[in-house]
Copies of this chain bind each other. A is one copy, B any other.
Amino acid sequence: MDGSNEDILATETFVQQAMDIIMEDVVRKAGDTRGKVCEWRSPEDLKELLDLELRPDGEAHARTLQRCRDAIGYSIKTHHPHFFNQLYVGVDPYAMVGAFITDATQPSQYTYEMAPVHSLIEDVVLGKMMELMGWTEGGDGIFNPGGSMSNMYAINLARFQHCPNIKELGLSASPRMVLFTSEEAHYSVVKGAAFLGMGTKNVYMVPSDQRGKMISVELEKQIQAAKLEGAVPFMVLATAGTTVLGSFDPIEELADVCEQHNLWLHVDACWGGAVAVSSRHKHLLAGIHRAKSVAWNPHKMLMAGQQCSAFLVRDKTGLLHRCHSADASYLFQKDKFYDLSYDSGDKSVQCARKADVFRFWLMWKALGTRVLELRVDRALDTARYLTEEVKKREGFRLLMEPEYANVCFWYIPPSLRNIPESPEFWQKVHVVAPKVKERMLKKGSLMVGYQTHRDKVNFFRMIVISPLVGPTHMDFVLDEIHRLGADL
């Protein structure tokens, strides 16, 4: 490690060998159903196996390569066609290559000087995403580390626009400001409100209907009530594609309410934004052209790789910059010789910022918008197939008709099928999903999430994304859940 030529050659060989392992153990296995989805080990056993301790001395390349193999081997196979556990699955191969390139070249997106290629690409991709939102006049935006951050950006911008003094004086000098979201919204809204100093109790939870959609009449009532309390309503966070049910809030109706009360409408479309590329499904976002801001994570349905998360704001007056600027003299020199409008750093609340946009752009270039559309349509067709199968098959009960790629259902083992639907019945159903989940992890055959929701006992939430899965995989899921749970 003294920088000699021998060292350099040895290191190059190591990198080459590690790349070969990635090809062999990840890329070539991506679509393969023969291997396991996971090699479950308890934390205690896995610690023993991996020898994680950091020591004064380094290790030989052979040992490090084995560590690479082990890390891959004991990680969840998020590319596996039987992985349906989260709102993402693996990564598109073009996006993966894009990620490798940014990891190898290490641009940081504060200035054009440090990220010329990526600054331009970010502008183009944000522009295209805004076009898909129907923002004919354009706007502004920034890629950032995740949808939770995007929602925080929205809250910060909305309150800043409502009361610009907050940036300098803080909230202790402001009245009690409240924001509204639905009970179905992602928990990051509440987390973000706490982090931003708003307080979790100042997030008003608007009831949603049976389909999981925010009820605009209830929103109206809560706004009135908040005003009577002397609080200051300033924004509504709607959701396009909720985490559990995949529901879409009625954006047009909410936009009407927001316009009437002069509230900022933000749409958390992290999960559902992808339907914007599909002519068959984009109606789910109807009204999003009226939102003031949108969060959309291409790393979810579009498989652009974690984390690839865009915050879009329909403002052309530089609000994002004014809200977040700090004018650091060592980065944003005013006497640079190029057009400073390409320096995005003062729009961000970060300093260094990874070029997450690049892999999305590379993938989009390689596939074209039409293939993105085909993929979304295909995933939703597959989710529809699964829904129909759940309805058809004995022992499966659909929670509700899905709008999107979340299919929620209970598995009722044979022993419970003839019991009347009493609270006791549901308590027995409640323990089925965790037990089946434990068995699928230990067997490594399948990964599907489960959870309770409001008054509903534990059910499975299937998320269908990958273009590599279709009806046969859906059949496998239901067959496998039955195999794992038939004796319960």
Q: What does the 1/0 interface line of A326-351 toward B look like (CB < 8 Å)?
A: 11111001011111001000000111
Cβ-neighbour of A43 out of B22, B100, B108, B116 (below 8 A): B116
Q: Is B148 a contact of A339 with CB atoms below 8 Å?
A: no
| Set of chain B residues within 8 Å of A452, measured between Cβ atoms | 329
| Set of chain B residues within 8 Å of A22, measured between Cβ atoms | 100-101, 104
- Contact A156-B100, Cβ < 8 Å, known A1-B367, A1-B467, A171-B172: no
Q: Is A146 a contact of B27 with CB atoms below 8 Å?
A: no
Residue A420 lies at the interface, judged by CB distance under 8 Å to chain B: no
Q: Is B104 a contact of A91 with CB atoms below 8 Å?
A: yes
| Set of chain B residues within 8 Å of A86, measured between Cβ atoms | 108, 114, 352
How many copies of this chain are found per oligomer?
2
Q: What does the 1/0 interface line of A435-461 toward B look like (CB < 8 Å)?
A: 001100100000001111100001001
**9-residue interface stretch from A195-203, A397-405, A477-485:** A195-203
Q: Is B198 a contact of A170 with CB atoms below 8 Å?
A: yes
- Contact A59-B366, Cβ < 8 Å, known A3-B468, A117-B46, A326-B190: yes
Q: What is the CA–CA distance of A199 and B351 in the complex, to the nearest angstrom?
A: 19
Residues 9-44 of A contacting B (Cβ, < 8 Å): 11-12, 14-16, 18-19, 22-23, 26-28, 30-31, 38, 40-43
Q: What is the CA–CA distance of A41 and B338 in the complex, to the nearest angstrom?
A: 10
Residue A354 lies at the interface, judged by CB distance under 8 Å to chain B: yes
Q: What does the 1/0 interface line of A417-435 toward B look like (CB < 8 Å)?
A: 0000000000000010010
Most chain B beta-carbon contacts within 10 A, residue among A91, A366, A468: A366
| Set of chain B residues within 8 Å of A135, measured between Cβ atoms | none
CB distance from A396 to the nearest CB of B (A): 20
| Set of chain B residues within 8 Å of A416, measured between Cβ atoms | none
Given contacts A43-B120, A167-B199, 15 further A-B contacts (CB under 8 A): A3-B31, A14-B93, A15-B93, A16-B23, A55-B368, A64-B94, A64-B366, A71-B358, A88-B108, A91-B103, A99-B100, A146-B351, A171-B198, A194-B324, A307-B352
| Set of chain B residues within 8 Å of A90, measured between Cβ atoms | 106
Q: Is A306 a contact of B434 with CB atoms below 8 Å?
A: no
CB distance from A402 to the nearest CB of B (A): 15
Q: Is A306 a contact of B106 with CB atoms below 8 Å?
A: yes
Query: 9 closest Cβ contacts across the A-B interface?
Result: A170-B199, A197-B197, A58-B368, A145-B145, A171-B171, A99-B103, A171-B197, A187-B326, A187-B328
Q: Is A104 a contact of B112 with CB atoms below 8 Å?
A: no
- Contact A64-B199, Cβ < 8 Å, known A42-B338, A116-B75, A461-B330: no
